[in-house]
A and B are shown apart, each in its own frame.
Chain A
Amino acid sequence: MNDEAGLRAPRKAVEIKGVSKVFGTYQALKPVSFDIYDNEFFTLLGPSGCGKTTLLRMIAGFEQPTTGQIFLHGSNIQGLPPHKRRVNTVFQSYALFPHMSVEQNIGFGLENLGWSKDRRDARVADMLRLVHMEAFAGRKPQQLSGGQRQRVALARALAPEPEVLLLDEPLSALDLKLRQAMRDELRILQRKTGITFVFVTHDQEEALDLSDRICVLGDGEIQQLGTPAAIYEEPSNRFVADFIGETNFLDAEVIAVNGEQATVTTQLGMTLTASHKKAVAGQKAFMSIRPEKISLPAQANPIAVDGTIMGTNYLGGYTYYLVETGGTTLRISKRNSVSRGQMFEIGQSVKVGFAAESVRILGA
């Protein structure tokens, strides 16, 4: 394709074309199609059992697609065994070779690719430096902590400079603090190496934090694919709105649909016009609003309702309030930026408000 206005179309690293997987009689993955671009941090996000690992294993070559094809930088890799695909995997359990030292683990792939000893040693040293493990070169995996093993697994998979790096929930075995630290390191590693990362997780926060783009999988199919902001702000269905972040769902009746906007009557009594997806006039729909987008107390908000505080959850940085209003309970989060004196009491009557722009209407 020709470049337009100096903009170069990003090169496709992986193309998934109508790929599905059936185990026996069980459809683990319905046919899906999407592209992953070069130098991208791409995340497959979804609840347990939705087929994330299956998809990743098909890219790596450990499973064969039941239908469809996978292209790696333009060439069809159908039927190519794993050791002939320029793709490396960071396994969830790390899968470090217990009988080899850290150095030998990292050098294993290079050796199989036929690199000379000098070149190999230099590369292993670079990798050790990259993941800050120089001091542990001679250790066996059993002599390392979980976080250190993680780094070795990353170094081992990155050493052969794969066209794509696959990571299957690499952080799930680490404790919370380490997980946070490793997230930053992963992002930095991806930037430094410029290698395309395909990252699998069921942790939506991790996905939002790390990804350039997220593919939300559910029930064996793609629910939505887009940037973290698009997925959070403009979920395309109830599943995505529910799975990514937190939200309040309210019943609504669609009065009219006008292009991107839908007018609905909500459970709270008022009528409002907001962005929508798949709303059909005259039918039922859901209205979704995020807890942090509701003001408590209502400021100069165009939409305001009366309510009663039913519960509070103090979480340090912010507090969750449960406010009963119009026959439903809204979950509202409020930053604890001011002193604790400002907090609301249970039973207190309050006015809460929000803007129609913060609302998303989703067809039932």
Chain B
Amino acid sequence: MKPSARKPNWNVLGLLPAHLIMVLTLIIPIGIIIVVSFSTRGPYGGFEYVFTTAPYKQLLFNEGWTGELEFNPQYLIVVARTLVLSAVTTSICLLLSFPVAYFIALRRPTIKVLLIYLVTLPFWVSMIVRVYSWIIILGKDGVIEKTLRGVGLVDNMGSLLFGNTAMLVGLVYSYIPLMILPIFASIEKLDPALIEASHDLYGNRLITLRRVILPLTRPGMIAGAILVFVPSLGAVLEPTLLGGGKTMMMGNLIQLQFGGARNWPLGAAIAIVLMAAVMIFLVFQGLRSMRIEGLERAS
């Protein structure tokens, strides 16, 4: 036996407060949500402790009068829309952020600080106000429509608001700083000598971007993708304000179940599905980056 094994393991005791907080704020609430998702809906909202899998069935099926199950894609569409919108949001953020981050990283230090401050500036304003402002921009008689009409490009344009496009615009707008910052950090860390070495070895700009800059800033892009994709999945404000209550995402669907629809078990079941989606995504990302590292180490 190693001598250290005889000593009491103070690490466990020292970390006890952290463990307690984890249990109190993470494990127990998730446990409660799981319990609720398997409970029966109360007559006036709330729930009763009667075990049932009905909320999960309800995600996919309607129960007919005679108890027969009838496939209902209504919720599945919301889940699919959420996944697709989040993926598209992440892709657009990635495409827009890289040039922005690169531009900022190449500025002089004082300007760099200023630009980074500007990128984070929206976080100082209430999220509701920021998302709401898009209603003014996109809405009927909004800034965009008026401008286009003024120039004479369109005569009568339907509202841009209340639909997938408006939600997408809101999501990209809300989460793009979370993509710019980690990419900026990874470009900052990039040794300029490596870029010079690539040019020195007959690599033009495109080759240098593809073979040197992109591979070396991939960790920042992965971090940014996680930071944008995960909150997009759970977004509430953007679909509520810009989706117009009809086109929903999982976030406001859950809110609706706990609020207006008074179906707590269904809301809890959707929340669990959402959480599972996030966890699957993260595990997948983790495995991928582990495999990449493993490959790099093995070769």
Residues of chain A touching chain B, judged by Cβ–Cβ distance below 8 Å, are 60-62, 81-84, 87-89, 91, 93, 95-99, 101, 108-109, 112-113, 138, 140, 156-157, 160
Contact = CB atoms under 8 A, between A and B. Distances in A.
A112 B203 contact: yes
27 contacts: A62-B196, A81-B199, A82-B196, A82-B199, A83-B200, A83-B201, A83-B203, A83-B204, A87-B200, A88-B200, A89-B200, A91-B193, A93-B191, A93-B193, A95-B193, A95-B196, A97-B194, A99-B296, A101-B299, A108-B198, A108-B201, A112-B201, A112-B204, A112-B207, A138-B299, A140-B296, A156-B201
- Chain A binding surface, main DSSP class: loop
A114 to B, nearest CB: 9
B65 interface: no
Interface in B156-196: 191, 193-194, 196
Contacts of B196: 62, 82, 89, 91, 95
Contacts of B197: 89, 91, 95-97
Contacts of A62: 196, 199
Nearest to A156: B201
B98 to A, nearest CB: 17
A108 B203 contact: yes
A83 B216 CA distance: 20
A140 B293 CA distance: 12
Which of A83, A89, A96, A109 has its CB near the most chain B CB atoms (within 10 A)?
A: A83
Given A83-B199, A83-B202, 12 more contacts: A82-B199, A83-B200, A88-B201, A91-B197, A98-B194, A98-B216, A101-B299, A109-B201, A112-B202, A112-B207, A113-B202, A156-B201
A170 B154 CA distance: 65
Interface string B225-243: 0000000000000000000
Contacts of A138: 299
Nearest to A62: B196
Nearest to A106: B201
Nearest to A98: B216
A60 B202 contact: no
B89 to A, nearest CB: 28
B215 interface: yes
Contacts of B112: none
Interface centre among B193, B202, B297 (most CB of A within 10 A): B202
B214 to A, nearest CB: 10
Contacts of A82: 196, 199-200
A93 B191 CA distance: 10
Contacts of A81: 199, 204
A166 to B, nearest CB: 9
A112 B207 CA distance: 8
A108 B211 contact: yes
